[in-house]
Amino acid sequence: MKAAVMREYNAPLELEEIAIDDPGPGEVLLKTAASGICHSDLTVLEGGLPVPPPCVLGHEPAGVVEAVGEGVTDFTPGDHVIGCITAWCGVCKFCTAGRPYLCLTQFAGRPEGAKPRLTVAGGDPMGQFANLSSFAEKMLCPERSLVKIRDDMPLDRACLIGCGVTTGIGAALNTVNLPAGASVVIVGCGGVGLSALQGARIRGAGKIIAVDNHAWKFDLARKLGATDCIDASDGDPVAAVHELTGGGADFVFECIGLVPTVQQSVAMTGRGGTTVLVGVVPVQKVVEISAADLVLQEKNITGSYMGSNRFRFDMPKYIDFYLDGRLRLDEMISSRIPLEEVNDALDRMRKGEAARQVIVFE
């Protein structure tokens, strides 16, 4: 099958023919229908997350089940599914405590010594990103990375729910349980930020302030629920937020993953407010913030991983939200492209020229 392979960091992905194994116990083979491109794919390619090459990237997929392995009872061929990186085991401390997205074994892969799921010609192992690797015509996943969805949900929109939408909406609904009326700032209006923004709108937030350094995103942000927009490339965005909110917002969602925007997000947070870090700052970087500012104003900072999801519960709900008009996905898609154009799409993402781009397979 054809796949887009990261051969080395900071180089274009290579389109290669690679082999995919048959499903083993508890595994499901999918035909990939569509895959969104998330900034975390780019962060991996730039060496900002500990994922070594060679590896097939892509982790925001929707697909159709082709075959199932021994013991799989939740899926049958023909089922439409979404894949998610937070596979869960069901028995570890975090799973049993109701936080399966923190499962200790989510990236465990096949048992030690087993044949790899993906291989290159000659049989050498090919890395699989987060049990998924959706920049490929087929995917071989643990069943606990997948959720079955309604057949009337278009798969080129369903895929967005696999990462960006679940991450953004979940940050608002699950991680901080956003209260109605709260003032909210969304820092970064990519796929993740626009989804957090929609979570705020769905919860009935008060002011919803969108911040980005590409002003073309503001029409889109307003359509999706922003009440105010701040161009970070034109003046000080922190001062602008303080002016709009009378001293800082109740909740600030950082959805970019840069050191200065994390610092700005904390500074935009008002007394007693909460900064929610959703963007992934490259692992090599450290952010300096004032501890006194946190203490004297009793500010909270929390990370938010994959929207604190229980995806088999959350994702079908988000699909209902889309199909009944409460969640807007069509507007978030800047372009649909074939796998061959993945490197151009990554370039557009680097330059801030796209909201979400979706690879659609034949």
Ligand X SMILES: NC(=O)c1ccc[n+]([C@@H]2O[C@H](COP(=O)([O-])OP(=O)(O)OC[C@H]3O[C@@H](n4cnc5c(N)ncnc54)[C@H](O)[C@@H]3O)[C@@H](O)[C@H]2O)c1
Interface with ligand X, residue 174, by CB under 6 A: no
Question: Comparing C-alpha atoms, which of 270, 147, 276 is closest to residue 207?
Answer: 270
Report d(CA 198, CA 192) in Å as an integer.
Answer: 10
Report d(CA 356, CA 36) in Å as an integer.
Answer: 7
Q: Which stretch binds ligand X (CB under 6 A): 130-138, 148-156, 159-167, 312-320?
A: 159-167
Three-class DSSP category at 153: coil
Interface with ligand X, residue 68, by CB under 6 A: no
Interface with Zn ion, residue 315, by CB under 5 A: no
Interface with ligand X, residue 352, by CB under 6 A: yes
Per-residue DSSP letters for 22-60? Answer: PP-TTEEEEEEEEEE--HHHHHHHTT-SS-PSSEE----
Query: CB within 8 A of 49, min separation 6: which ones?
Result: 40, 43, 280, 282, 283
| Shortest distance in whole angstroms from residue 154 CB to Zn ion | 20
Interface with Zn ion, residue 171, by CB under 5 A: no
| Shortest distance in whole angstroms from residue 73 CB to ligand X | 29
Interface with ligand X, residue 191, by CB under 6 A: yes
Interface with ligand X, residue 134, by CB under 6 A: no
Interface with ligand X, residue 304, by CB under 6 A: yes
The option from ligand X, Zn ion, none interacting with 261 (CB < 5 to 8 A, set by class) reads ligand X
Q: Which of residues 267-296 bind ligand X (CB under 6 A)?
A: 278-280
Label the pairing between strands 356-360 and 27-36. antiparallel
Pick the closer one to Zn ion by CB: 40 or 308. 40
Interface with Zn ion, residue 131, by CB under 5 A: no
Report d(CA 140, CA 99) in Å as an integer.
Answer: 25
Three-class DSSP category at 7: coil
Q: Which of residues 102-121 bind Zn ion (CB under 5 A)?
A: 103
Interface with ligand X, residue 6, by CB under 6 A: no
Question: Comparing C-alpha atoms, which of 267, 64, 13 is closest to residue 3?
Answer: 13
Strand partners, 120: none
| Shortest distance in whole angstroms from residue 284 CB to ligand X | 14
Q: Could you list the residues that contact ligand X (CB under 6 A)?
A: 38-40, 43, 163-164, 167, 188-193, 211-214, 217, 232, 255-258, 261, 278-280, 304-306, 349, 352
Q: Could you list the residues that contact Zn ion (CB under 5 A)?
A: 38, 40, 89, 92, 95, 103, 163
